[in-house]
Amino acid sequence: MGWMLIILSIFVVWVASVWKILFSRSKPTFLDEGSPLLKKNVLLVVAHPDDESMFFSPTINYLTSRGHTVYLLCMSTGNADGMGSIRKDELYRACVAHKVQLDRVKVLDDPDLQDGFGQVWNHGLLANIIEEEVYGHVIDVIITFDSYGVSGHCNHGDVHYGVRKFLDDSAPGNIEAWELVSINILRKYSGLFDIWMANLDVKRHPRGLRHCLLNEHPRKSFLAMAQHTSQWVWFRKLFVSFSSYTYINTLRKME
């Protein structure tokens, strides 16, 4: 009887989570300054092709569905296994699925910014690249990884510190920057269930410093990730299915 109650409780929470994803449109408070007509130029800065789909899909869907202009800056081709050109093409296809215009997508192949756990990226170089993109496209908002970088990959952390250095050294005073909050492994692989924990976590902090972005188009996210065919192996399919980052992003303001 006890097991039946546990199973029933899990099922009820799962159904409620699915309902929230499919039928409960998240409140458009992120980047909303009281006028729905005020749209932003947003720069998403990632380290490798597929970062945008594996980790930032709810954010991209939120922004595009509300008419914000999304620019994507990918700091490498992900050439650790010699498939950089393939992964670059896959990124472009994923951006089509995400409704991000290809002329707003930039993928770098700098010899000093190569993919790999042993590759340390120069934060000053990253800051200079970000500065060029920000001033070139009149960017209002930057979104990137936090210092842990969701998975602990050193390149993700380097991107964060590159953004941080840009903010400290040469950013315009009116620019906003937000980081994707890394969570513990239990929450990370709780899938839909993390919707509730993420919302509770945001309520624990002062208003406006954190935002939960619910993925209103999860099928689009799976379609985008499926474009990364070189990475779309069985364990990554499981990751995308059970990862809470497929269904919700918590963004924290970088101060």
The per-residue pLDDT for range 15-24, each reduced to its tens digit, is 454 445 445 5
Q: What is the mean pLDDT of the segment spanning 73-85?
A: 94
Q: Which of 182, 185, 216, 218 is nearest to 201 (CA)?
A: 182
Pairwise CA distance, residues 55 & 206, whole Å:
24
Percentage of the chain lying above the pLDDT 90 cut: 66
Three-state secondary structure call for residue 212? strand
Cα separations (Å) of 174 from 74, 97, 132, 181, 209? 24, 31, 16, 22, 16
Q: What is the mean pLDDT of residues 208-225?
A: 92
Average pLDDT (206-229) is 91
More confident residue, 13 or 227: 227
Give the pLDDT confidence score for residue 200 in this predicted structure: 87
CA distance 128 to 123: 9
At residue 231 the predicted structure's pLDDT band, cuts being 50, 70 and 90, is confident
pLDDT at 31: 87
pTM of the model: 0.89
Cβ burial, residue 233 (10 Å; 0-12/13-18/19+): exposed
Judged against a pLDDT cut of 90, whether residue 32 lies above it is answered with no
pLDDT band, very low/low/confident/very high, at 12 (cuts 50, 70, 90): very low
Question: By the 8 A CB rule, do 78 and 109 touch?
Answer: no
Residue 13 is predicted with a pLDDT of 45
pLDDT mean across residues, the chain? 88
pLDDT tens track for 148-176: 999 999 999 999 999 999 999 989 989 99
Higher pLDDT, 186 or 238: 186
Tens digit of each residue's pLDDT (9 = 90 or more) over 173-203: 899 999 999 999 999 998 888 888 898 889 8
Rounded to the nearest 10 degrees, the angle between the axes of helix 234-242 and helix 218-226 is 160
What's the CA gap between 232 and 149, in Å, rounded?
Answer: 21
Please compute the mean of the pLDDT values over residues 103-117 and round it to a whole number.
Answer: 95
Helix (H, G, I), strand (E, B) or coil at 216: coil
Catalogue the long-range contacts made by 131-138 (C-beta closer than 8 Å, 24 or more residues apart): 131/166, 131/170, 131/171, 133/43, 133/71, 133/73, 133/106, 134/43, 134/166, 134/171, 134/172, 134/175, 135/172, 137/41, 137/43, 137/71, 137/104, 138/41
Task: Evaluate if residue 230 carries a pLDDT over 50.
Answer: yes
Q: Is 48 helix (H, G, I), strand (E, B) or coil?
A: coil
Q: What is the identity of the amino acid at 122?
A: N
Residue 5 predicted with pLDDT over 90:
no
* Cα–Cα dist 82/71, whole Å: 26
Which residues are 177's β-sheet partners? Answer: 142
